[in-house]
Structure 1
C-alpha cells in the first residue's frame, strides 16, 4: 500500500475536507482528490461519503483511519525517541495528572525541573479522565490508582489520605470541633460525591454528609476546596500532601481520614529509553523523597 496515499487519506479524514487537507499538505484540491480516488481504486472500496457539508468516513474508511491513526502515533513515538539526545534533555513532554495533584503539588515544583532542563516543553494536562498512554494521548501520567492499561512501566510514588483541615482564623471565630457531631455547627467544604475523584475521598465525604451538616460548599476539584478553606469558609476535605506547602492549615478531628490512596507514575514501555521521560521520572522521585523527609520532620498542627 502506498505510504504517500495513506498520509493524504489520513489528512483528509482528519480534516473532513479535501480543501482543508490540501492546505495542510500544501497540495491542490485536485491533487488530493486524485490520490484519494487512486487509493479507493487500489482497495476496491469507497472510503468517504461525499456531500455538500464535507466528507464522512464509510465503515471501510473508519477501519483504515484507525490503522493510519495508530501508525501516526507509532511514528510520533519513534520521532520522539530519535530526537532525544544522548547528552541533552529537550523537546515536548506531555504530562497528565488530576487537577488537584497537578495544581497543588506538581506545578509549584516544576521550576526546579526547568532550572535543570531549560529546553523542556511540558504540556501539563490536568483532568480526571484517564488518558490512554499506549495510544499516546499523553507521554507520562501520575494517577491516584494503579494504572490498568497494558504495556506500561509503573512506579508507586507515595500514599495519600484525605483529611479535614481548616484555617486558624476560621477556627478562632467558630471554634474547633472535637467530635463528628460537632461538624453540624460548621460548614463543610468538599468535592461532591458525584464528581470525579478517588473512591476513598468520596467514601469519606459520604460518611461526613451522613451527619446532616446544614451548610456545605461542594467543588469539583481540590484546588477549589483549598481556596474555600484558605478564605475561612469552613472545614475542608483535602489531601494530606498539602500540609508542607500550606503549613498554616490546621488538621481537624485527627482520627478522621480516608483510606490510603496510592499515587503511581506510569509511561509506555516503548518510551523506556526517552531522556525526557527519565528526567521527569527522576525529578518526581527526588521530590517525593524530599516530601517524605519533610513529612517525617514536620509535626502536625
Structure 2
C-alpha cells in the first residue's frame, strides 16, 4: 500500500487528511457512475488519499453499503486512512436528537465501523437552527456522539452560506464542509472559511469543479445549467489556461488547494481511474503568476443563489 499523500491535521481535530479527500456521493448510484461500485470503493480505500467522505443517504444508502463490503473484503481500513460520514434526516422528515442517533447507527451497521474521526450534521433543512439547538434537537445528538467518543469531532455540512454561518457561529462544531462556493466561479464561502479558521475549525472545500462544469464533464454548475454568460466566461478561462499550458481542471483544483484556509478539498470519484488522474492534477505545477491573470477576467456569473 502506498503511503498517505501529504498528511496534515484538519484544524484542531484529531483527523489527519490529505490535500484531496475522495467524495463517495455517486458510489453505488448507476445513474451517476457506470463503473463497478466495489472496484471504485477498493480504489478509494487503497489510494494515497487519507480520507473518503460519504453520508448515510448518498445513493440511497448504497455509498456506505458498498464501502462496507469493500472494507470487509480488505479487512478494514489501512493505517493512516479514515472514513468520514454524515447523519441525515429521516424518511419521515424528522431531524432531532433521536434521528441523529438512528442515522449514526445505520452508518455503523452499513460500514461495519464502530466510531468515526468526524461525523457531519448534513443538510439540516427540515428544522430551523433554533429547533436544532433546542433540548432534544439534532445538535444535542451530535454533542452526545462526540462526548461518548463515537465521533472524534463533529461538523456541519450544508450548502447555503447563511445556514453554515449560523451553525459555525454557535462554537459547537469542530469542522465545516462547504461546496460549490469556493471555486474559480464562486467565492462566496470566503468569510465562512475565515471565521472557521479563527475558531480553529477544520475546513473541507467540496466540489472544486462545480459539479462538473470546470472538469469538462457537464454544462451545469452547482446543480443548475450554466447560463450563456457563465459559459462565455469559461471560454475565456480555457483560452488563458491554454496560454499557460494548463488544463481548466488543474486550475480549478489548485485554486482550492492553494487556499490557506482550506485543509482538504473534496472531489467526487465515480471510476477507479479517477484516482490516478487526481494525483496527476495535484502534482501539476501552476505558476503563481497565473492567478493574477485569472483575476483579470473579472467576476464570473455564478448560478449559486444563497
TM range (shorter): under 0.3
Structure (1 or 2) with the greater helix fraction: 1
Q: Based on CA coordinates, which of the two structures has the bigger radius of gyration?
A: 1
Which of the pair is proportionally richer in strand? 1
TM-score (norm. length: structure 1): 0.23
